[in-house]
Chain A
Amino acid sequence: MSTMVDARGLSCPQPVLMTLETIKTLDKGEIVVLVDTDCSKENVIRAASSKGWKASAVQPEGIEYRLTFTKG
């Protein structure tokens, strides 16, 4: 069961902050983050990694990205 964060249409730092808020509620598991810019993709991956979450999949979907993070 994944937790979904839809940050499409938002500019940095908001996708990062939404992801961090979700990370705060979870010790482990899987988080899927949807973003629509390269900048958001890189920033979200960097922020999640700094919290110990691994980007297990980065899937382009048209002009968007589906980022899957796992921990534990």
Chain B
Amino acid sequence: MNFLKRGRPKPTFAPNGKDRGILVFDHTSDVIRAEKILQSNGWKIRVMGPPPEIRTGCDLVIEFPLMEKLNILRTIRDAGICPRDAVPVSSPLLQPVDLFHIKDFGRYLMVRAANMKLTIDKETLVIVNVSGGGCPDVPYLAAQMVGKPLAETPAPNEIGHTLCGYALHLAYEEMLRRC
């Protein structure tokens, strides 16, 4: 009877194929919640920067396997999250947010995720710079993080609410992984 407990396996999808859709949200905090819920349910999804035709500012979308649209919508709506739209991908210009660029300045190490850069002093692990973006919360994020040790700074996803905050959190996690 074990086969009854396994549940239906979640289908995978080719990220670069034509069977993709995107979920568009009004708030980045909804994107972050939906990402956690969908990943914890085994869905193969990715957070991306939106294509230009639907961009409204510092926003994010979730790329998902289009053939599972109804199941995915049900999953996130059950969690109280309502996307603004769920549409097929029509643009090849989606940019993944989780591509990292690492630059070693000798004593300092920089990690860039999407449009955000996080730089630390390698000897002290103190954050010396937060830059990039253009979202309204970047000065606040920088003020909260610069001058503090990496281990003691608030996580960007706890204090930021935009694409920049999300990207900075990815850079922060990558920096933690490397240090």
Chain B residues in the interface with A (C-beta under 8 A): 105, 108, 110, 117, 119, 121, 128-132, 139, 142-143, 146-147
Contacts and interface: CB of A to CB of B under 8 A. Distances in A.
A16 interface: yes
A4 interface: no
Given A13-B108, A16-B128, A17-B105, A46 B142 contact: yes
B105 A39 contact: no
B128 A17 contact: yes
A39 B146 CA distance: 14
Choose among A13, A16, A17, A51 the residue with the greatest number of B CB atoms under 10 Å from its CB: A13
A16 B129 contact: yes
14 contacts: A12-B117, A12-B129, A13-B110, A13-B117, A13-B128, A13-B129, A14-B105, A16-B128, A17-B129, A42-B142, A43-B142, A46-B147, A47-B128, A47-B147
A25 interface: no
Given A13-B128, A17-B129, 14 more contacts: A12-B129, A12-B131, A13-B117, A13-B129, A16-B119, A16-B128, A16-B131, A39-B131, A46-B146, A47-B129, A47-B146, A49-B147, A50-B146, A50-B147
A57 interface: no
Main secondary structure of the interface of A (DSSP, over half): helix
B128 A20 contact: yes
Contacts of A49: 147
Interface string A1-30: 000000000001110110010000000000
Contacts of B130: 43
A52 to B, nearest CB: 10
B143 A46 contact: yes
A51 B129 CA distance: 12
